[in-house]
Amino acid sequence: MKTLFLTLRSLIYMTGFLLLFAWIALLARTFDRRFGLWLPAAAIFPGTIAMGVGGILVLACAVVFILRGRGTPAIFDAPRAFVATGPYKYVRNPMYIGGVVLLVGFGLREQSIAILLLALVLFCLAHLFVLFYEEPVLTRSFGSSYQAYRDAVPRWIPRLRH
């Protein structure tokens, strides 16, 4: 029953975040006219693929958070247990990577330079958030197990071999 409740909360939070970022991206898209640049129609197909890959990665992270971490992807309802399995075995921040890939895919699909720039800005903000908030909190919460994980697993670029 607890897992079902976590799953429902995660779905609600993720839907809210998806709608929020879609709304922000569509607002950003209005700046394309000011730039006077648009991506070619050939960007639509790779954008659709990137959206799918990013979405699958985000969902995989949410499942690991629910089943292993006993929490949700939301910062205010974070996992209670340390998670270092699934996508987290290869990179420390796969949820952010999946979100950025999803947004880049949306920008390509919409042929929008402004959405691609938004993705870059959001990635930079995520990096700062990870450095100055998330990593210190995880170090305090999980101590040496998180420090060993941090030393073994890269922050942004996945290491596919151990």
Domains and CATH numbers, the chain: 2-152 (1.20.120)
Task: Assess whether pLDDT exceeds 70 at residue 162.
Answer: no
Question: pLDDT above 90 covers what percent of the chain?
Answer: 72
Neighbouring residues of 130: CB distance < 8 A, sequence distance ≥ 6: 92, 93, 96, 155
pLDDT at 160 over 80: no
pLDDT band at 158 (very low <50, low <70, confident <90, very high): confident
pLDDT at residue number 147 = 95
> What's the pLDDT band for 80 if we cut at 50, 70, 90?
confident
pLDDT at 56: 96
94 by Cβ neighbours in 10 Å (0-12 / 13-18 / 19+) ranks as buried
Checking if the pLDDT of 77 tops 80, the result is no
Across 111-129, b (16+ Cβ under 10 Å) vs e yields bbbbbbebbeebbeebeee
pTM of the predicted model as reported, rounded to 2 decimal places: 0.90
Residues 6+ apart with CB under 8 A from 135: 150
- Mean pLDDT across the stretch 25-32? 94
Q: What is the pLDDT of residues 102-118, one digit of tens each?
A: 999 999 999 999 999 99
Statement: residue 159 has pLDDT above 90: no
